[in-house]
Amino acid sequence: MIAWPDLPADHPFGPKNLPYGAFLTEDAPSARLGVRIGDQVLDLAGAVRAQGLDDGTVWAAALLEPTLNRLLELGHTAWAGARSWVTGLFADPAQADAVRPHLIDLDRVELVLPFRPADYVDFYASEHHATNVGSIFRPDQAALTPNWKHLPIGYHGRSSTLVVSGTDIVRPQGQRKPKDADAPTFGPSQRLDIEAELGFLVGGPTAVGSRVSVDDAAQHLFGAMLFNDWSARDIQAWEYVPLGPFLGKSFASSVGAWVVPMDALAAARTELPAQDPQPLEYLRGDGSGLFGLDIQMEVRLNGTVVARPPYAEMYWSPAQMLAHMTVNGAALSAADVFASGTVSGDDKDKRGSFLELSWSGQEPIVLEDGSERSFLEDGDTVTITGWAPGPDGSRIGLGEVTGTILPATPLG
């Protein structure tokens, strides 16, 4: 039983969670790794040095780094060792006096991106989302493309535009072509959208030519974080045929500041929805590696709750996404990121994008102040929160991912 600190049993950042982040403080402006406990951050470098672990313990040396990249390189055994040590600090009351000097109140830190992204892929794993989008974009055709239930569809994103929660988002510009126009025009996106997603941080590098099976995917899945894949729907609609998303997506994606270890989400594992037709063997394995996650999400626009997307209804498993991503021999690097794609459920209030919520503008969303939105306006703030069930009735918080829209930057 956890001895300290004294937190409510349902605190989303209790000792069953212990997510990783990185932070700055006024007196030490270089980034440091931390673990959140309650409303404080444990300075991992300070705790490692105080425990005398900086003289040869490999995973402990990785915690002295400003990002998680070195720890991610070391692989699953090192991750387990680091988590066991951190968990032990709060399980033993004899550690309290030694650890307390390295706890910092959240209001004294600035959270930064806790990893240097290596590569980034975004998937399209919700059947409800894919069906809604297909119905909107292709009303005279089948909503799902013929390949959708045979493989996890994804696109390669731009890792340099992954930004930490709280970063302002500048409205993108590009080519747009209304359906009734003869030629495209250029200008700021008029249909700026969100995609409420879950991101996964990957470690345990592999060689080009190798692949990761669904049964071994857990050895490479370090943790999960909230994710918002901002999307310019008008730019996307004009550019995406025949090669898929490009400038309509690559301007920014926001990442939650806290990376929740996959071990902390063990109690949230759930069965996948029935997959019919049965996927090919490399997406099945022996079945032990396949899982869904019971994660509840909430989307707020300027303070109004507009949706509660349920991750448990996602069609494809994170293990299947990772296996498909590498089946052609593509290598994994430490701090690769892949995201789930928009999380949407079978009801309107479970849809994780404004494209779906407003049905492409036909059914505007009414906010608490009486204003209406189909897509985002300058000054709008979107905040996505999430949590999962933990062991013994506890709650595992994922924090939030938030961003405010700024006007487009003039060209020239």
Q: Is 342 annotated among the ligand-binding residues? A: yes
287: CB partners within 8 A, 6+ apart: none
User: Known binder of ligand: residue 249?
Assistant: yes
**Cβ proximity of 30 and 22 under 8 Å:** no
Q: Around 342, how many Cα atoms within 13 Å sit in the side-chain half-sphere? A: 26
Q: Say if residue 281 carries a ligand binding annotation.
A: no
233 annotated as a binding-site residue? no
DSSP alpha helix (H) spans, 5-104: 44-50, 58-62, 69-74, 76-91, 96-99
Within a 13 Å sphere around the CA of 171, how many CA atoms are in the beta-carbon half? Answer: 21
State whether the Cα torsion 365-368-369-370 is positive or negative.
positive
The annotation status of 193 as a binding-site residue, yes or no, is no
- What three-state secondary structure class fits 335? coil
Residue 368, annotated as binding a ligand: no
DSSP bridge partners of 186: 175
Strands 192-193 and 173-176: unpaired
240 annotated ligand binder:
yes
What's the CA gap between 314 and 147, in Å, rounded? 17
Looking at 240-367, list the stretches that DSSP marks H as alpha helix, in order from N- to C-terminal side: 318-326, 354-357
H/E element holding 386? Answer: strand 381-389
Say whether 362 counts as a known binding-site residue.
no
Q: Is 73 within any annotated ligand binding site?
A: no
Q: How far is CA 116 from CA 129, 211, 303, 309, 319, in A?
A: 30, 23, 31, 28, 22
CA atoms 60, 63, 65, 67: torsion sign: positive
92 marked ligand binding residue = no
Q: Is 129 a catalytic residue?
A: yes
Q: In what order do the strands lie in the sheet with 103-105?
A: 103-105, 40-43, 28-37, 20-25, 110-112
Q: What beta strand segments (E) does 342-380 contain?
A: 365-366, 372-373
Catalytically annotated residue among 129, 150, 220, 324: 129
Distance (Å, rounded) from C-alpha 297 to C-alpha 377?
A: 23
236 annotated ligand binder: yes
Closest to 358 (Cα-Cα) out of 369, 345, 372, 370? 372
Residue-level length of the chain: 412
Binding-site residues for Ca(2+) sit at 122, 195, 197, 229
Catalytic residue numbers read 129
Binding-site residues for Mg(2+) sit at 229, 249, 253
Binding-site residues sit at 122, 124, 138, 195, 197, 229, 236, 240, 249, 253, 342
Binding-site residues for substrate sit at 124, 138, 236, 240, 342
